[in-house]
Chains A and B, each alone.
Chain A
Amino acid sequence: MKKIRRQNKVLEIVLWIFGLLLLIPFLLVVLTSVKDSQTAGLFQLTLPKVLHFENYKVVWKEGQILHGFLNSTVIAVPMCALSLGCSALLSFYLARVKSKFSRFLYMFIVMGMTAPLSIVTTFQLLKSMSLLNTRLGVILVQTALEIPFTTFIMVGFVETLPRELDEAATLDGCGPYRMFWSVILPLLKPVFVTTLILAFLDSWNDAQVSLFFLSDWHKWTMPLNVFRFYRYYQKEWNYIFGSVFLTTIPVLIAYLFGQKYIIDGMTAGSVKG
């Protein structure tokens, strides 16, 4: 027993060393962001003699940080609501109805996790619906890409809810919609937390759908704003890393509070049972 405990101590130290190595890029970003432009381009893990906090004034203003934050929010919030709402309804049907059609539908949806986004045809579709370069278009495409994964996780969860609940609700005179709304939905809370966080991260960090279908940079989200800022400031790495840092703060905060749910969620979704 004692030997194992000592082994674990050594293992812990090794894991901490590798863990801290993994965090070097974060440290490099923070340190570089308060240097002057000359030393910033050397990418060294040193504390500068003078801390140039005024860099952040430039970054905040030119990097459109607040604007990007608001743009990201008005895309991510509706996207999460839509993905979770649609998937919850669908998952309830798929988990309860055991017909050939239902099983086919499940496979059909889950297959959506495999296919890549078809760039040019989606572009054409959005254009023909006058949704190109609109936030609504981005929200709908992101939702369509999110539904398979969210549904996959939710079906697994709904199947663990006893069917007797539905019977009891029906006996009490609930129609299918009341049953879903007041009996099933409240019980979905744990799986909602997980899928909400994952959908939020997918939408918030997305730099693909919005790059393809949102050409007006006034509507650009935080990740794309960093990209624009980088192309504008090419070699001023102190500014570039400053904007990288400010952009990651919202997710870092979310991660500090929600990391238990994120990791649990990843695991719950992937391996059932």
Chain B
Amino acid sequence: MKTRTLRSRPAIRYPMTFIIPAMAVYMIFFFYPTVSGFYYALTNWNSRSTTIRYVGFSQFLDVLKNPTIELAFKNTMIYSITITVVKNILAILLALALNAKIRSRNTLRAIYFAPAILNIVAMGLVFQGLLNPDFGFVNTALRAMGLGFMANGWITDPKMAIYCTAIMEIWRATGISMAIYLAGLQSIPQDYYEAATLDGAHGWSKFTGITLPLLAPAVTINVILCLIYGFRMFEVIYYLTGGGPGDSSQVMQTLAYKYMGQGLYGYSATINVILVVFILVVTIPLLSYMRRRDSRLM
């Protein structure tokens, strides 16, 4: 063995060809459509006229004045904020409970995670059965328990419909948030708790002094993920209420799809652009926080 070759570090090559396949697919099928939306949002592109004419920002003004879009934006906010708050509270409680020394905890974790693996079309149909105003399981059960006053139109009630979609998402995806919190809890070293016990700390002060601060990164990630998935959700709304009754539970993405179906392509692109910009404005500060945390770990 020649020691010389071991000492001098060999030049390792990482050619750019490694990034080509992924970048090609990503640029063509994701980045290009997203960015070209910004151009089409400034045109009158539709199925009726043969030429695409530049109309400037007038379409944005149209969109901002359109009451249906205003409603869809409001619904998108209601939906995302509701699911973010409820999913996270439930998920932290579940993760804390399922991190305790319980005999059947692996089975229980699997059960709580199970709804997340089903397709949303099937789930939408199941929830139509649960929330049917006349014969639905929920209303029937409420009446049987003497809580008939709580029975209501659910998905057929214009005021309730968007909350029903949130309920379905909470049922479906709380398990995912729970899994992320469980990982956060498991990464907290046990010695911290032992040291705290020696110092005479009790359950609650251990929770607020150790668990909660060290769980903060998991909270950030969960909140970002829930918000983003909420802002851009299409399937839950489309397959449970179809945006109805009327347009009462439309969100941005379902409305963009509806306008595309009506041939209003420029309009649809504008809604999409507004959503992209909105998400970026909300998540860039949060993402840069995540990156800082990553570089600290590296």
Contact = CB atoms under 8 A, between A and B. Distances in A.
Select the residue from B104, B111, B125, B265 with max chain A CB neighbours within 10 A: B125
A90 interface: yes
B26 A144 contact: yes
Given A114-B287, A115-B34, A270-B183, A12 B272 contact: no
A262 B217 CA distance: 21
B10 A167 contact: yes
Contact of B122 (A151, A167, A248): A248
A144 B179 contact: no
Contacts of B225: 270
B164 interface: no
Nearest to A247: B122
Interface residues of B, number: 98
A58 interface: no
Contacts of B113: 259, 262-263
Contact of B121 (A44, A97, A227): A227
A118 interface: yes
B158 interface: no
A225 to B, nearest CB: 9
A11 B184 CA distance: 21
A271 B13 contact: no
A132 to B, nearest CB: 13
B182 A16 contact: no
B108 A119 contact: no
Given A8-B100, A19-B112, A123-B260, A32 B183 contact: no
B34 A267 contact: no
Nearest to A164: B9
A175 B103 CA distance: 51
Contacts of A186: none
A192 to B, nearest CB: 15
A121 B269 contact: yes
A211 B115 CA distance: 22
B276 interface: yes
Nearest to A126: B29
A214 interface: no
Given A120-B256, A270-B225, A115 B25 contact: no
Contacts of B109: 263
Q: What's the dominant secondary structure at chain A's contact region?
A: helix
A120 B265 contact: yes
A166 B97 CA distance: 43
B291 interface: yes
Select the residue from B111, B130, B268 with max chain A CB neighbours within 10 A: B111
A124 to B, nearest CB: 8
Contacts of A201: 117
Contacts of B40: 120-121
Given A159-B298, A170-B10, A263-B179, A118 B33 contact: yes
A27 B272 CA distance: 39
Given A15-B98, A15-B108, A122-B29, A116 B232 contact: yes
Nearest 8 A/B pairs, CB to CB: A267-B183, A116-B232, A144-B29, A86-B22, A144-B30, A90-B22, A205-B119, A121-B33
Interface of B: 5, 9-16, 18-19, 21-23, 25-26, 28-34, 36-37, 40, 97-98, 100-104, 108-115, 117-123, 125-127, 129-130, 132, 135-137, 140, 171, 176, 179-180, 182-184, 186-187, 217-218, 221-222, 225, 228, 231-232, 234-235, 238-239, 252-253, 256-257, 260, 265, 268-269, 272, 275-276, 279-280, 283, 287, 291, 294, 297-298
Given A22-B115, A270-B218, 17 more contacts: A22-B111, A29-B126, A42-B135, A44-B140, A85-B21, A86-B22, A96-B12, A96-B14, A115-B30, A117-B253, A120-B268, A125-B36, A140-B25, A170-B13, A208-B235, A223-B119, A227-B121
24 contacts: A12-B102, A12-B108, A15-B102, A43-B132, A43-B136, A43-B137, A89-B18, A89-B19, A92-B14, A111-B287, A118-B37, A121-B34, A121-B36, A125-B29, A159-B298, A167-B9, A179-B12, A207-B235, A226-B125, A237-B129, A255-B114, A267-B179, A267-B180, A271-B217
